């Protein structure tokens, strides 16, 4: 069953039923001010950091599941009836409900009793505020005397503290109301220099800022006393729970429409200029008032919205494809690219599943996110790389994550994940391939942010590489440390204490357990580093790296191959993990995918055999599961992976993040049919008709789909913030469609399904627009290129002379 449909022309997903299986969300903002918004207007806003600068409150894991939002109530003042045009929170019956999730905006509307109301929510570019454009239309034959109420609940900034420290928080809430604008200023009187504001374009009939006054005792957001009675209390919050609600009356003639604008924004003042007058405790609003005035001016919201549209036109215009498959087109051209922006911005911090307080920006995650983002805003990718590298430790290792506001690494979820450093090499190489900006490598970057420790970024990459060489285990494979890509394969943890973190507990000295995955990653990253070194004129170093890579390949072939597939690891007893010798967890996807994509043993046909085993043992109609057989019980020596019930998450769930590794592996052995088939199995758009099973949004990837061992096989969870976004984008654009960035130019090497007659693509690359047309004349993957009419050798389109605007490439596949 479908709960809506794609509107590809407008680049929107249109939800037509408010009670979707799960909240289907979207993001507002793409620079510094962000919001999450669900199809029923649930969600919250924050400035830069979802934990430390939370602007509005949200109640995770509540019932109903999506609670706290940007709510509007419409009240018929003649009958006393009231409803929310976004269905929540009143859940009153609506006609013609729709939610259009677009790129950086969401429009929610409906009709009730002949009154139509729709709200467009978005964050203007370069501003720290969101606009709610509410349009109310009277379709009745008579005058409608209506009231509109807005409602938000302020968060007392630190979302973690806000949801736990009530003994303090119930006494500190403070607001100011001036000229119809509600200012939230909790803690502004002492150490904070930021506040938020909530403004309305219309003259107010009243307002409320104290939650209890607005809702009334023992009432919830579904039936606030103020809305029911049609009378605001003009309450001023002192302590308890500050909220923001405006009340405006709008009498409408038959057929008449009116727009009411609300602005919710974040603002900082310099410390010395916090108050006006200076010796008072009143917020200095000198810089804020002009912003409010500007965005409440009638045409401004539309102008700002147009700018946002153009911004996305331009970003998405960088890579557009036209293939025979509508789901491929839709994901590549719109939604997957859009999701890559969200994962770049949020890392794994704030979604419907990530509470915004648990995880900052991950070292591994953020580097991988670059694969899908770097072509969009390379300048921001560059900045991110430098920020990440600055948290690298002098050993070459890394903190597993850092808080975006402070940009400092933290040990909250541990460090010593021995794969981490290599992702920096891959992030940097993706940037260099995209931009050709080799100056990045000369940037001076500190270790662990320590002043005086600055070294060229290139040296950071070297240390990343050496980190593994300094930590080899008994078989010559990399020691796993706390875990590798699979956070839950905790081979040095041995935790038997309830509640203990698998991510920070280590009971072993870590000198035995090895990871074949890191070995594969080392091969891939090492080859890139060798090419980078070569480009810097460091031929000797380059050969050194290559020698180490070859050695590692040999080690994998000797100690990391199980006969039919790649092994996964060796545990702390030196026993195999992911081997036919194991009773459970005989075969894992990660090493099959990653070693294949890295080309380990390509000449001896190992990837082809490993991939054949994947097809036989791991592939399901809903995607490829992480391992088989699932662990049926807890294995002390394996850690968190076996803590999950079979079929979920890392214990044999379909972890969508690593499916694209298999897809790329399939392209490397020339199997376009298999690659695209796997791509389609987890493609959210292709899964739209089974929304009742899939349950998550049909327009973005989820981290996980329940595996075949789970009773809910096919059900997705953890949508939006996952490495799945970047990896699928990378796999389909660069490997299946084969429009691949490289240091010296753009490579065209498609490995597409046999029954595709071809496809077209346009790709902006280093300032030049490449128009690419691929035509199939035979069933294979042998490609011949014609560039601007002239045939060339090989598959690398050389960089055109400076000043060239467009290049036309004709590729023939036979
Ligand atoms: C999550 C983490 C990612 C990890 C993966 C597998 O997606 O964000 O870093 O690699 O889980 O455990
Ligand atoms: C990753 C894994 C998850 C694990 C978490 C620990 O996100 O997907 O299963 O619990 O890391 O931080």
| DSSP strands (E only) in 327-404 | 361-362, 399-402
Question: Ligand 2 centroid to 362 CA: how many Å?
Answer: 12
User: Which tens digit of pLDDT belongs to each residue from 517-538?
Assistant: 999 999 999 999 999 999 999 9
Q: Tell me which residue has its CA closest to atom 2 in ligand 2.
A: 487
Question: Is the model's pLDDT at 358 over the cut of 90?
Answer: no
Q: Check residue 404 and give its pLDDT.
A: 74
Question: Ligand 2 centroid to 783 CA: how many Å?
Answer: 41
* 0.95 surpassed by pTM: yes
Question: Is the model's pLDDT at 155 over the cut of 80?
Answer: yes
Element counts in the chain: helices (H) and strands (E): 20, 43
Task: State whether the beta carbon of 653 lies less than 6 angstroms from ligand 1.
Answer: no
For the CA of 703, the nearest ligand: 1
**Which residues are the active-site residues?**
487
Task: State whether the beta carbon of 362 lies less than 6 angstroms from ligand 1.
Answer: yes
Q: Check residue 403 and give its pLDDT.
A: 78
Question: Ligand 1 centroid to 487 CA: how many Å?
Answer: 6
Question: Is the model's pLDDT at 407 over the cut of 90?
Answer: no
For the CA of 369, the nearest ligand: 1
Question: Ligand 1 centroid to 409 CA: how many Å?
Answer: 18
Among residues of the chain, what percentage have pLDDT more than 90? 96
The whole-angstrom separation of Cα 214 and Cα 250 is 20
Q: Check residue 412 and give its pLDDT.
A: 73
**Average pLDDT estimate for 262-274:** 98
718: left (phi over 0), alpha (psi -120 to 50) or beta: left
**Average pLDDT estimate for 272-277:** 98
| Sign for the pseudo-dihedral over CA of 484, 647, 560, 369 | negative
> Among 358, 413, 488, 503, which residue has the most ligand 2 atoms within 8 Å of its CB, making it the best to mutate?
488
For the CA of 657, the nearest ligand: 1
**Average pLDDT estimate for 43-52:** 95
Task: State whether the beta carbon of 503 lies less than 6 angstroms from ligand 1.
Answer: no
Give the nearest ligand 1 atom to 486 CA: 12
CA separation, residue 168 to residues 196, 236, 243, 521 (Å): 20, 19, 17, 48
Task: State whether the beta carbon of 503 lies less than 6 angstroms from ligand 2.
Answer: yes
Q: Check residue 368 and give its pLDDT.
A: 98
Question: Ligand 2 centroid to 647 CA: how many Å?
Answer: 15
Task: State whether the beta carbon of 369 lies less than 6 angstroms from ligand 1.
Answer: no
Task: State whether the beta carbon of 488 lies less than 6 angstroms from ligand 2.
Answer: yes
Give the nearest ligand 1 atom to 703 CA: 7
Q: Which of 74-88, 166-180, 398-412, 479-493 has the lowest mean pLDDT?
A: 398-412
β-pairing verdict for 806-813 and 768-776: parallel
Residues 6+ positions from 105 with CB-CB distance below 8 Å: 26, 28, 120, 121, 122, 305, 308
What confidence tier does 410 reach under pLDDT thresholds 50, 70, 90?
Answer: confident
Give the nearest ligand 1 atom to 487 CA: 12
Task: State whether the beta carbon of 420 lies less than 6 angstroms from ligand 1.
Answer: no
Question: Is the model's pLDDT at 255 over the cut of 80?
Answer: yes
What confidence tier does 460 reach under pLDDT thresholds 50, 70, 90?
Answer: very high
Among residues of the chain, what percentage have pLDDT more than 70? 100
What confidence tier does 463 reach under pLDDT thresholds 50, 70, 90?
Answer: very high
* Average pLDDT of the chain to the nearest whole number: 97
Q: Which of 62-66, 116-120, 262-266, 309-313 has the lowest mean pLDDT?
A: 62-66
For the CA of 366, the nearest ligand: 1
Q: Tell me which residue has its CA closest to atom 7 in ligand 1.
A: 722
> Among 485, 705, 718, which residue has the most ligand 1 atoms within 8 Å of its CB, making it the best to mutate?
485
Task: State whether the beta carbon of 666 lies less than 6 angstroms from ligand 2.
Answer: no
Q: Check residue 360 and give its pLDDT.
A: 75
Tokens in use for 526?
């090492």
**Average pLDDT estimate for 157-169:** 97
CA separation, residue 525 to residues 419, 474, 672 (Å): 11, 22, 25
**Average pLDDT estimate for 446-474:** 97
User: Which tens digit of pLDDT belongs to each residue from 761-795?
Assistant: 999 999 999 999 999 999 999 999 999 999 999 99
User: Which tens digit of pLDDT belongs to each residue from 539-579?
Assistant: 999 999 999 999 999 999 999 999 999 999 999 999 999 99
Q: Tell me which residue has its CA closest to atom 5 in ligand 2.
A: 487
User: Which tens digit of pLDDT belongs to each residue from 705-760?
Assistant: 999 999 999 999 999 999 999 999 999 999 999 999 999 999 999 999 999 999 99
Q: Check residue 702 and give its pLDDT.
A: 98
What confidence tier does 315 reach under pLDDT thresholds 50, 70, 90?
Answer: very high
Question: Is the model's pLDDT at 273 over the cut of 90?
Answer: yes
114 close to 74: Cβ distance less than 8 angstroms: no
């Amino acid at each position: 069953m479908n709960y809506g449909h794609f509107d590809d022309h407008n680049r929107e997903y249109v939800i037509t039923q408010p009670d979707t299986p799960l909240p289907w969300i979207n993001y507002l903002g793409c620079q510094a001010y962000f919001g999450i918004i669900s199809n029923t207007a649930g969600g919250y806003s924050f400035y830069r950091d979802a934990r430390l600068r939370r602007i509005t409150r949200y109640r995770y894991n509540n019932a109903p599941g999506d609670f706290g939002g940007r709510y509007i109530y419409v009240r018929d003042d003649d009958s006393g009836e009231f409803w929310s045009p976004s269905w929540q929170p009143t859940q009153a019956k609506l006609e013609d409900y729709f939610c259009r999730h677009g790129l950086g905006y969401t429009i929610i509307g409906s009709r009730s009793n002949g009154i139509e109301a729709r709200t467009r929510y978005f964050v203007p570019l370069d501003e720290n505020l969101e606009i709610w454009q509410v349009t109310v239309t009277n379709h009745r034959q008579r005058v409608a005397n209506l009231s509109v109420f807005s409602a938000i609940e302020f968060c007392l900034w630190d979302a973690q503290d806000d949801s736990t420290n009530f003994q303090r928080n119930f006494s500190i809430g403070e607001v100011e109301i001036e000229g119809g604008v509600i200012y939230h200023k909790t803690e502004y009187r002492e150490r904070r220099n930021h506040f938020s504001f909530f403004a309305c374009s219309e003259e107010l009939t009243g307002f409320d800022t104290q939650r209890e006054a607005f809702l009334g005792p023992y009432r919830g957001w579904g039936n606030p006393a103020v809305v029911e009675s049609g009378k605001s209390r003009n309450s001023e919050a002192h302590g308890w729970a500050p909220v923001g609600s405006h009340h405006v009356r709008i009498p409408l003639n038959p057929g008449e429409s009116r727009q009411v604008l609300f602005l919710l924004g974040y603002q900082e003042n310099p410390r010395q200029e916090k108050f006006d007058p200076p010796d008072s405790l009143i917020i200095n609003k000198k810089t804020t008032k002009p912003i409010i005035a500007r965005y409440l001016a009638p045409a401004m919201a539309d102008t700002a919205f147009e700018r946002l549209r153009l911004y996305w036109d331009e970003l998405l215009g960088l890579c557009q494809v036209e293939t025979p498959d509508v789901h491929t087109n839709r994901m590549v051209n719109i939604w997957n690219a859009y999701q890559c922006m969200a994962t770049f911005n949020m890392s794994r911090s704030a979604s419907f599943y990530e509470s915004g307080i648990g995880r900052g920006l991950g070292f591994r995650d953020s580097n991988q996110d670059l694969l899908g983002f770097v072509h969009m805003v390379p300048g921001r990718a560059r900045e991110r790389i430098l920020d990440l590298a600055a948290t690298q430790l002098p050993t070459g290792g890394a903190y597993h994550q850092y808080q975006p506001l402070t940009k400092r690494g933290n040990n909250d979820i541990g460090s010593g994940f021995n794969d981490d450093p290599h992702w920096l090499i891959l992030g940097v190489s993706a940037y260099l391939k995209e931009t050709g900006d080799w100056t990045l490598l000369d940037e001076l970057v500190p270790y662990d942010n320590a002043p005086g420790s600055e070294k060229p970024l290139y040296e950071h990459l070297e240390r990343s590489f050496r980190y593994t060489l300094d930590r080899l285990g008994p078989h010559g494979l990399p020691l796993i440390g706390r875990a590798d890509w699979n956070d839950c394969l905790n081979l040095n943890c041995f935790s038997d204490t309830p509640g203990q973190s698998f991510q920070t507990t280590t009971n072993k000295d870590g000198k035995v357990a090895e990871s074949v995955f890191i070995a594969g990653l080392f091969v891939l990253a090492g080859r890139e580093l060798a090419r980078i070194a070569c480009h810097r004129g460091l031929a000797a170093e380059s050969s050194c790296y290559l020698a180490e890579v070859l050695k590692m390949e040999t080690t994998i072939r000797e100690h990391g191959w199980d006969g039919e597939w790649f092994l996964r690891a060796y545990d702390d007893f030196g026993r195999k993990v992911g081997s036919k010798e194991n009773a459970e967890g005989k075969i894992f996807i990660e090493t099959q995918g990653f070693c294949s994509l890295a080309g380990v043993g390509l000449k001896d046909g190992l990837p082809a055999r490993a991939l054949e085993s994947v097809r036989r043992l791991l592939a399901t109609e809903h995607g490829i599961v992480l391992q088989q057989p699932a662990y049926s019980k807890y294995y002390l020596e394996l850690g968190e992976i076996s803590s999950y019930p079979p079929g979920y998450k890392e214990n044999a769930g379909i972890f969508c993040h690593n499916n694209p590794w298999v897809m790329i592996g399939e392209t490397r052995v020339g199997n376009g049919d298999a690659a695209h088939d796997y791509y389609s199995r987890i493609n959210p758009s292709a899964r739209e008709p089974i929304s009742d099973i899939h349950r998550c949004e049909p327009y973005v990837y989820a981290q996980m789909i329940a595996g075949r061992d789970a009773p809910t096989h096919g059900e997705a969870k953890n949508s939006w913030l996952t490495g799945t976004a970047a990896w699928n984008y990378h796999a389909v654009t660069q490997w299946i469609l084969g429009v691949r960035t490289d240091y010296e130019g753009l490579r065209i090497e498609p490995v597409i399904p046999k029954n595709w007659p071809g496809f077209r693509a346009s790709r902006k690359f280093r300032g030049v627009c490449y128009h690419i047309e691929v035509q199939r004349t035979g069933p294979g993957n042998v490609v011949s290129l014609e560039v601007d009419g002239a045939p060339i050798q090989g598959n690398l389109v050389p960089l055109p002379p400076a000043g060239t605007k467009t290049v036309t490439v004709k590729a023939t596949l036979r």
